[in-house]
Homo-oligomer: A and B are copies of this chain.
Amino acid sequence: MLNEHIEAIVKSTLFKGIDKKELGLVMNCLCPRVSDYRKNEHIVLTGDSFIGLGLVLQGEATVIKENSAGKRIMMTILKQGDLFGEMIAFSHYSDWLASVQAQSDCTVMYLPKEKIISQCEHSCPWHRKLIENMLAILSEKALQLNKKVEYLTMKSIREKICTFLLDQYKMTGRATFMLPMNRNELADFLNVSRPSLSREMCKLRDEGVIDFHLATVRILDVKTLQTCLE
């Protein structure tokens, strides 16, 4: 089983930094359950009891969350090497909070949470690495959600845009940079409508604060950009 799926395992953040040669031992110790699913089949269902952290070895799947009224909303697309269930694995929940459905024929590996934190008799060095990776995965997840909350909490589109552009400015260190997504995706990320986003960006251009052409943006007046956030 290992050889045919080694690619997915190596790709995943959970096994990052663990030597390829060691993976045999690791898997032997973790003895994960592996299951196959056909296209459109449900991999897990909301409310099913949680059996372990999921890792997509093969194929593509979607995470679907049902709201209080039962409406289904697609949350994420999972590809080879992606994890799911990482937020509930070590929480007080014992059931899945969302469903996962196969978009193509899929192979999924389940890692029981006890196996991840338990120190096996030999107290293998990679075990520590596994725990470290798990902590890093959860931390990054929380930070990413935190960032999202920050954007969603802003009241005006202008504030969202200015913050986003200043973030990009800081990250790239240049006044001229490329936006990492198209208008639709950006509007989605900021939780506003695409035309409203365009309208506001054009206003900023008319005011001489920024200039842009498609994905290329140049910040002309950092100070004014900052005053939008005060």
Contacts and interface: CB of A to CB of B under 8 A. Distances in A.
A174 to B, nearest CB: 16
A69 B229 contact: yes
A135 B88 contact: no
Given A117-B128, A153-B152, A143 B68 contact: no
Interface in A6-20: none
| Residue among A89, A143, A191 facing the most chain B CB atoms (10 A cut-off) | A143
B140 A141 contact: no
A92 B136 contact: yes
A182 interface: no
A115 interface: no
Nearest to A145: B145
A93 B140 CA distance: 10
Interface string A86-100: 111111110001000
Interface residues on A, range: 35 or more
Interface in A128-156: 128, 131-132, 134-136, 138-143, 145-146, 148-150, 152-153
A71 interface: yes
A170 interface: yes
Contacts of A135: 89-90, 117, 134-135, 138
Contacts of A149: 145, 148-149, 152
